[in-house]
Structure 1
Amino acid sequence: MKKILVFGATGMIGQRIVTELVNRGHDVTGLSRSGPVKGDVTQAAELAAGHDVVISAIAPPRDGTEPEAPFLAATRALIDGVREAGVRRLITVGGAGGLEVAPGLDLVDTPDFPQIYKKEALSQRAALGLYREVTDLDWTYVAPAAIIQPGERTGTFRLGGDRLLADEQGNSVISAEDYAVAVADEIEKAEHVRRRFTVAY
């Protein structure tokens, strides 16, 4: 059993990560800015102390403002706070936009990438750049498939590295429930330390 702190625990993905971890017997504290247990990443130094693992399931802001600067500021605050708290293991919910679809070409840079998600995807890719500069924490960036949505927990999926995973029809999909399984597996097995991995059917 690990003592785990989850930021963004009331979001679509965060909720499912908390459920999966609790069902596996871990001691989980879920935080959100508006939920019953409040706290955000700017308080990470104080809140993360005494935990084995910190998970960030926060997303770039979707309030119409430019999301990259505040999201990178939040990411820096999280990294610095976890470091100050003395916690080495940090898992972050990432985005699919920064995954490669061809050598040197990321999904977010393709012509058909939906404009409504572009700023968020670019913010997530920039955050990965911050993580890649961190050498004193055991971080992992978990990128979903191109489409992640509520669904079934099957426990059956594929893992990849920096390349977008798609099926024979070109579909790249994962349920939030199975994404949560992959996150929990990573916490227990630590197979992708200081790198990104992705999960899809």
Structure 2
Amino acid sequence: MKIVLLGATGMVGSRIAAEAVARGHEVVAVSRSGSAPVDSPRLTAAAGDAGSATEVAGLVEEADAVACALVPPRDGSDPCAPFAALYDAVLNGVRSAGVRRVVIVGGAGSLDVAPGTVLRDTPGFPDEVKPEADAHAALLATLRGVSDLEWTYVSPAALIAPGERTGTFRVGGDSLLTDAEGNSRISAEDYAVAFVDEIEKAAHPKARISVAY
């Protein structure tokens, strides 16, 4: 399978790249710098601007799937409009190239924790993270109106960080997954396993899934 990965050099993107090439997939790893996130003959690094629909269309041509590990701006400004514009360019570029399958690294803030309450609105949710959570929630709302692409939005647990690849985790839907102690966490490595599983199986088209221990 040929996978074009946008945002390939970040904490999550680099692990998705490593997981995909380890499974034998051909990966085109796209970032602004054009750096290679992993050393593999199956990976081709490419420089590109995901905010340009024209560039995206050229990069994803003939891809079997497009993976997006893009993040909102983290410069203190309101990220909602720039993030929406970024994904507008991505989706239009994908359409122009005739690719249908798009799998997106999402956020956890919009996961349900109780009827009518999402994680972002719970006590203790960091104020500094709320704008990014809002940007991701708006993206998910936009995706839910997209009918011409086979998209999947993959939310992590409340806590995602570098760790161990165990291959053991749970996959849920719109609700926050927690363990017996009420913790919600996933390693970036196991998140990548679940993400590449979804690319391969296309088990949840036009849906949000969540991943946690």
Return the TM-score normalized by structure 2. 0.92
Matches within 5 A, 1:15-54: 15-36=14-35, 37-41=46-50, 42=52, 43-54=55-66
Secondary structure at 1:185 match in 2: helix
Paired position in structure 1 for 2:186: 174
Cα distance in structure 1, aligned partners of 2:23 and 2:60 = 21
Offset, 1:35: 3.3
Cα distance in structure 2, aligned partners of 1:182 and 1:118 = 25
Quick one: which amino acid aligns to residue 118 of structure 1?
A: K
Structure 2 gap ranges (5+): 36-45
Paired position in structure 2 for 1:116: 128
Cα distance in structure 2, aligned partners of 1:154 and 1:5 = 25
Cα distance in structure 2, aligned partners of 1:92 and 1:40 = 17
For residues 70-111 of structure 1, the C-alpha deviation after alignment (integer angstroms, 9 at most, x for no partner) is 001001111111011100000000000010001121111113
Matches within 5 A, 1:78-157: 78-157=90-169
Specify which of 189, 197, 200 is matched with residue 209 of structure 2: 197
Paired position in structure 2 for 1:13: 12
Cα distance in structure 1, aligned partners of 2:133 and 2:102 = 20
Paired position in structure 2 for 1:4: 3
Cα distance in structure 2, aligned partners of 1:193 and 1:177 = 23
For residues 39-71 of structure 1, the C-alpha deviation after alignment (integer angstroms, 9 at most, x for no partner) is 122221121111110011000010111111000
Cα distance in structure 2, aligned partners of 1:157 and 1:118 = 26
Secondary structure at 1:123 match in 2: helix
Secondary structure at 2:47 match in 1: coil
Quick one: which amino acid aligns to residue 159 of structure 2?
A: I
Cα distance in structure 1, aligned partners of 2:174 and 2:153 = 10
Quick one: which amino acid aligns to residue 156 of structure 1?
A: T
Cα distance in structure 1, aligned partners of 2:117 and 2:16 = 30
Return the TM-score normalized by structure 1. 0.97
Offset, 1:16: 0.1
Quick one: which amino acid aligns to residue 3 of structure 1?
A: K
Secondary structure at 1:77 match in 2: helix
Secondary structure at 2:180 match in 1: coil
Cα distance in structure 1, aligned partners of 2:100 and 2:118 = 29
Q: 4+ residue runs of structure 1 moved beyond 3 angstroms?
A: none
Specify which of 163, 167, 170 is matched with residue 158 of structure 1: 170
For residues 117-150 of structure 1, the C-alpha deviation after alignment (integer angstroms, 9 at most, x for no partner) is 1100110000001111110100000000000000
